[in-house]
Chains A and B, each alone.
Chain A
Amino acid sequence: MTSLLDVRNLHAFYGKTAALHGITFQVDEGSVTALLGANGAGKTTTLRAISGMIKRSGEILLREGSLMKSQTEDIARLGVAHVPEGRGTFAKQTVENNLRLGAISRQDKAGVAGDMEMVYGLFPILKKRRTQQAGLLSGGEQQMLAVGRALMLRPKLLLLDEPSFGLAPLVVREMFGIFRRLNKEQGVSILLVEQNASIALDLADHAYLIETGRIVLAGTSADMRNNEQLRNSYLGY
């Protein structure tokens, strides 16, 4: 398999404080890769570094080339859709405008209209709430909207930051079912950040374990599941 995203020796900083100390990992074309770890390990920071939201050094290669000199908006336009922590939907805009904003960099009107129907197909509740302000949606609906908006970019790489956070177990299962479908049916590659290691490993092909800004364990999801250290600390059995 060829890698779609190749991260090498990535350091990231909040002000002068280093939050990542040289991490290296890949996301293969068409695969789901999970970054696991406890609170504050550097998972969200990694996604932010990829999207150019914080100061970083090292190398981040997308198929198109290095992302190190690109601005956040240009990285998005290359097809990297980031569903941020806290969802980041536009609360004052309607659901439909939020989806439209996801496709704001695209010129193909027909394609955008088709993708909007596709998103409404995946999340029928969003179609029902189409004219409502996004700020009035429930937490689960907002997460659906955030994912739907990311899909409107027709992304080649989807960055998901804690998509299970604050959601009811049933909603989490539904969301992860949709991620699987997106990956299998539409070939969207996914980089997933999760504290819930169990559900992440169910979806992912590969996983990396991050502790205090360093990768301490890597392997296929099956390998990770069988690893004693990870099982004790993160799966709890």
Chain B
Amino acid sequence: MELLGQQLTAGIASGTIYACIALALVMIYQAIGHVNFAQGEMAMFSTFIAWQLMRWGLPYWAAFAGATVISFAGGVLIDRLMFRPIRTAAVLTQIVMFVGLLAVLNSAAGFIWDFTSKPFPPPFGADPLLGSRLVSTHQATMVVATFLLLVLLYVFFRNTRVGLAMQSATEDPVSARLVGIRVEWMIALGWGMAAAIGAIAGMLIAPVVFLEPNMMRGILLYGFAAAVLGGLSSPGGAVFGGFAVGIIENLAGTYIPVVGGELKLTIALFIIISVLVVRPTGLFGATHTPRV
């Protein structure tokens, strides 16, 4: 029983990591209708920026805020410089661009900060939470931060004019323009927000996995599985998917002997494939029922 409890908590802990990345993926998907394969590397790069700011002597929260703001601006820039010119190009062109961005960010980070692992501080320390043996303060921080992000996104999309404009710009860009929505800026804003969320995710993940250019490699795959499982159009689904993937991964690793520690990553791929086959829109994704 204690083993199960431990595995569940561990699952929830890694689940928050996946949930954060999945949230950022959903954000971009909402803005441009594509999955951003470079999301993990963007988050990694943002985390390096925070690390650099701290190296230069800034306190943690100043570096945190600075990296988030810089990442937002960076996300907007990436959209304006790289993706705007190919907006009407074929899907494959866009995917090549994503992969290119991934490679560029990865090697740029390696070039600037080299490939050795660096420790990254957790915001509130990593001691056991209130003397509990199961949960550390940092795990609790991550869970709270993920839910805070989710609530903020929910309020943004539900209750603000910009959020409404952004949703409609994704659903029907032509009609959105006809009511006066500046669709291009909505897309840029989506990129900025995704980059900022990615930055926060990266800074929360880095204390767990250590900071280095390849830190997001496995995580992005899990984040992707989480987003697909929850439904790419649903922020709440993405968070649920993140926790589900984290828990499934840990339980399978412990209780299914064949899986063990070695095949854990395969679980993520298995989840992606089964969801896409059985329910392509994910658990909470909008199913579009065409009128007859």
Chain A interface (Cβ < 8 Å from any Cβ of B): 51, 53, 71-74, 76-77, 81-82, 84, 88-93, 97, 100-102, 104-105, 135, 149, 153
Give the contacting residue for A149; candidates B165, B179, B291; CB below 8 A.
Answer: B179
In the bound complex, do residue B180 and residue A90 qualify as a contact, i.e. CB atoms below 8 Å apart? no
In the bound complex, do residue A88 and residue B165 qualify as a contact, i.e. CB atoms below 8 Å apart? no
Give the contacting residue for A73; candidates B168, B171, B183, B286; CB below 8 A.
Answer: B183
> With contacts A92-B286, A93-B168 known, is A84 near B182, CB below 8 A?
no
A-B contact pairs, 23 of them (CB 8 A): A53-B174, A71-B177, A73-B181, A73-B182, A73-B183, A76-B177, A77-B180, A82-B178, A84-B174, A88-B172, A88-B174, A88-B175, A89-B175, A90-B171, A90-B175, A91-B288, A92-B171, A92-B286, A100-B161, A101-B168, A101-B179, A102-B179, A104-B165
Closest residue of B by beta carbon distance from A102? B179
> With contacts A92-B286, A135-B291 known, is A73 near B164, CB below 8 A?
no
In the bound complex, do residue A73 and residue B174 qualify as a contact, i.e. CB atoms below 8 Å apart? no
B side interface size, CB within 8 A: 21
B194 smallest CB distance to A (angstroms): 20
Interface residues of B in 261-292 (CB under 8 A from A): 286, 288-289, 291
User: A73-B180, A90-B175, A101-B164 provided; 14 other pairs, C-beta below 8 A?
Assistant: A53-B177, A73-B182, A88-B175, A91-B172, A93-B168, A93-B171, A97-B164, A100-B164, A101-B165, A101-B168, A104-B165, A104-B180, A135-B291, A153-B180
Contacts of B167 in A (CB 8 A): 92-93
Please provide the 8 A-B residue pairs with the shortest distance between their CB atoms, ordered closest to farther. A105-B180, A88-B175, A76-B180, A72-B177, A77-B180, A73-B177, A90-B168, A82-B178
Closest residue of A by beta carbon distance from B291? A135
Contacts of B165 in A (CB 8 A): 101, 104
Contacts of A101 in B (CB 8 A): 164-165, 168, 176, 179, 181
**Once the chains are docked, how many angstroms separate the CA of A48 from the CA of B177?**
12
Closest residue of B by beta carbon distance from A93? B168
Interface residues of B in 103-151 (CB under 8 A from A): none
Contacts of A81 in B (CB 8 A): 178
Contacts of B178 in A (CB 8 A): 51, 72, 76, 81-82, 84, 88
**Once the chains are docked, how many angstroms separate the CA of A104 from the CA of B165?**
7
Closest residue of B by beta carbon distance from A103? B179
Contacts of B286 in A (CB 8 A): 92
A48 smallest CB distance to B (angstroms): 10
Contacts of A104 in B (CB 8 A): 161, 164-165, 179-181
Contacts of A105 in B (CB 8 A): 179-181
**Once the chains are docked, how many angstroms separate the CA of A89 from the CA of B175?**
7
**Once the chains are docked, how many angstroms separate the CA of A97 from the CA of B157?**
12
In the bound complex, do residue A153 and residue B179 qualify as a contact, i.e. CB atoms below 8 Å apart? yes
Contacts of B174 in A (CB 8 A): 53, 84, 88
**Once the chains are docked, how many angstroms separate the CA of A135 from the CA of B179?**
18
**Once the chains are docked, how many angstroms separate the CA of A51 from the CA of B291?**
28
Contacts of B182 in A (CB 8 A): 73
**Once the chains are docked, how many angstroms separate the CA of A93 from the CA of B179?**
14
Contacts of B168 in A (CB 8 A): 90, 93, 101
**Once the chains are docked, how many angstroms separate the CA of A100 from the CA of B163?**
12
Contacts of A71 in B (CB 8 A): 177
Contacts of A84 in B (CB 8 A): 174-175, 178
Closest residue of A by beta carbon distance from B168? A90
A80 smallest CB distance to B (angstroms): 9
Interface residues of B in 15-58 (CB under 8 A from A): none
Closest residue of B by beta carbon distance from A71? B177
Closest residue of B by beta carbon distance from A51? B178
Closest residue of A by beta carbon distance from B182? A73
**Once the chains are docked, how many angstroms separate the CA of A76 from the CA of B172?**
16
Fill in one digit per residue for B159-198: 1 if any A CB lies within 8 Å of its CB, else 0: 0010011011001101111111111000000000000000
Closest residue of B by beta carbon distance from A98? B168
Contacts of A102 in B (CB 8 A): 179
